[in-house]
Amino acid sequence: MNETRVTTAARPAPGPPAYDLLALGRVGVDLYPSQSGVSLAEVDGFAKSLGGTATNVAVAATRHGLSTAVVTGVGNDPFGVYVRRALRAFGVDERYVATVEGLRTPVVFCEVHPPDDFPLFFYRQPMAPDERLTPDDLDLDAVRRAKIVWITGGGLAKEPAREATLLAAEHRGPGNDVVFDLDWRPGFWEEPVEAALWYSRALELATVAVGNRDEAEVAVGTRDPDRAADLLLQRGVSLAVIKQGPGGVLARTPAEEVRVDPLPVRVVNGLGAGDAFGGALAAGLRAGRPLREVIETANAAGALVAGRPACADDMPDPGEIRDLLERHRGRAGDRTPLTVPRSPRRAGLTALSPVTS
């Protein structure tokens, strides 16, 4: 592969904003099928949307009023232009998006098979621009000032992004948080068996860990939610959150435990649910709300996006989340799946074709 060169956008004086959330990790273009329940070989059309775990979390957090930025990379190509425009439209600061010469902005295709089968097909060869981020791409003043630094397991898969990710975690400011999204994508790793080592290092630097049971197994060697939460706390985090799908959510601190049941919604596309959960989690932590309220809100945010066709475009705001929780509480004992209304806001860049469940 030809040597690549990383350039970043100019950083305005006198200094960086004090972001509520600074997220490091993936960005790309999600290509959603216009049909549900069929393979990519049968799909007759696609629509594009902003994607990438860390980016989706930042978009979700902006819905809650947080100031956000992403540290990531794109190629010098039309999709890179699209990513920057979409970030601006969503209200996410894109000054730390690097342009990596010689590489292309990633695209991701998905299939939609509700309620629980949404295979992804990543196009990130030979490398993705976000994997070429270096410590030089970090504004360490911005990192120190950010109230929450959000890092991902995907960011640990390859150098030099691994070094940059860990360096950011090392430089969190006093009293601020590092949230480690366990985000397990085995295809990103040249040697997946090495993941546990680097996850362990990230946990030493994090204050919060969040992931599903499969991701917990990579991090601490068990899929059992209770055991995983205990082991994550032993690694040094102050809050461990284990998402269990139909089993709900377990959140545990050294002094408190919260268990939340899943909300019954009619699933359309489950791919963005975890990122919506993350954005709401960040907002709740930033506001210092009670743990139960934080987890219930995050759980409802994830349910809302699972009932909608897109990820970034369909992230909910607090009003929508409150409405869903009130509807759910008003139907005590009724487990019939709720139909989620379409999002009233979109970035206005791309209209997705309706996806039927």
Q: Give, for all 357 residues of the chain, the pLDDT tens digit.
A: 444 444 444 444 457 789 999 999 999 998 877 777 878 888 887 878 899 999 999 999 999 999 999 999 999 999 999 999 999 999 999 999 999 999 999 998 877 777 677 777 888 989 999 999 999 999 999 999 999 999 999 999 999 999 999 999 999 999 999 999 999 999 999 999 999 999 999 999 999 999 999 999 999 999 999 999 999 999 999 999 999 988 999 999 999 999 999 898 888 877 789 999 999 999 999 999 999 999 999 999 999 998 888 889 999 999 999 999 998 887 766 667 767 777 765 543 443 333 222
Distance CA 52, CA 133 (A): 15
pTM, to two decimals? 0.89
Is the Cβ–Cβ distance between 165 and 179 less than 8 Å? no
Distance CA 26, CA 73 (A): 8
Identify the CA nearest to 240 among candidates 142, 224, 127. 224
Distance CA 199, CA 202 (A): 5
Is the Cβ–Cβ distance between 338 and 328 less than 8 Å? yes
Amino acid at 95: R
Q: Which three-class secondary structure state does DSSP give residue 90?
A: helix
Sign of CA dihedral 287, 295, 311, 56: positive
**What are the backbone angles phi and psi of residue 297, rounded to the nearest 5°?**
-65, -45
Distance CA 115, CA 118 (A): 9
Is the Cβ–Cβ distance between 169 and 205 less than 8 Å? yes
Please give the pLDDT value at position 226: 98
> Which one-letter DSSP state was computed for residue 41?
T
For the beta sheet containing 21-24, the strands, ordered from the edge strand earlier in sequence to the opposite edge, are: 5-7, 97-101, 68-75, 21-24, 148-152, 177-181, 208-212, 239-243, 249-252, 257-260
- 215's enclosing H/E stretch is helix 213-220
Identify the CA nearest to 28 among candidates 52, 63, 53, 55. 52
Distance CA 286, CA 283 (A): 5
Please give the pLDDT value at position 352: 35
In this predicted model, what pLDDT tens digit does every residue of 278-308 receive, in sequence order? Answer: 999 999 999 999 999 999 999 999 999 988 8
23 strand-pairing partners: 70, 150
- The residue ranges of DSSP E strands in 102-146, in sequence order, are 107-110, 120-123
Average pLDDT over the chain reads: 89
Q: Which two tokens stand for residue 350?
A: 């791309």
Is the Cβ–Cβ distance between 259 and 250 less than 8 Å? yes
Please give the pLDDT value at position 33: 74
Is the Cβ–Cβ distance between 104 and 79 less than 8 Å? yes
Instruction: Report how far apart, in Å, the C-alpha atoms of 174 and of each of 14, 101, 146 are.
Output: 22, 36, 10
